[in-house]
């Protein structure tokens, strides 16, 4: 069961998708034509397309991690503020009861 969970994890699925896209660019790229223009006919052009794809994916992944960490820090700060406010309200309530 752990193997299935690992195989359907977002990281593994993303890597499989990126690998499949890279293989598609590598083998089907030379077949792509726009009139007389063959954008992926050379090895260098296909390598550049694959590297660009991986770079864009990496930047998006880094932005996602940065945003998650930022949201987590904001949530921790809000929880700490709420805890302080709750402690003050509890102390006020206890003093008014006593």
**CB count, 10 Å around CB of 40?**
20
**For the segment 41-69, what is each residue's pLDDT rounded down to a tens digit?**
999 999 999 999 999 999 999 999 999 99
* Cα separation values, 34 from 40, 43, 46, 97, Å: 11, 18, 16, 82
Residue 83's pLDDT is 78
**Span 10-25, mean pLDDT?**
94
Which of the four pLDDT bands, split at 50, 70 and 90, describes residue 90? confident
Paired strand residues for 34: 37
Q: Is 95's pLDDT higher than 80?
A: no
Using the structure block, give the residue that is written with the tokens 């052009």: 45
- DSSP label at residue 37: B
Indicate the pTM of the whole model: 0.73
**For the segment 70-82, what is each residue's pLDDT rounded down to a tens digit?**
999 999 999 888 8
């Amino acid at each position: 069961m752990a193997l299935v969970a690992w195989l359907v994890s977002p990281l593994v699925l993303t890597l499989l998708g990126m690998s499949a896209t890279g293989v598609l660019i590598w083998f089907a790229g030379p077949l792509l034509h726009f009139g007389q223009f063959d954008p992926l006919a050379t090895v260098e052009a296909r390598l550049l397309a694959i590297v660009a794809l991986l770079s864009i994916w990496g930047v998006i992944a880094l932005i996602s991690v940065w945003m998650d960490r930022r949201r987590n820090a904001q949530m921790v700060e809000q929880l700490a503020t709420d805890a302080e406010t709750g402690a003050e309200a509890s102390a006020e309530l206890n003093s008014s009861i006593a």
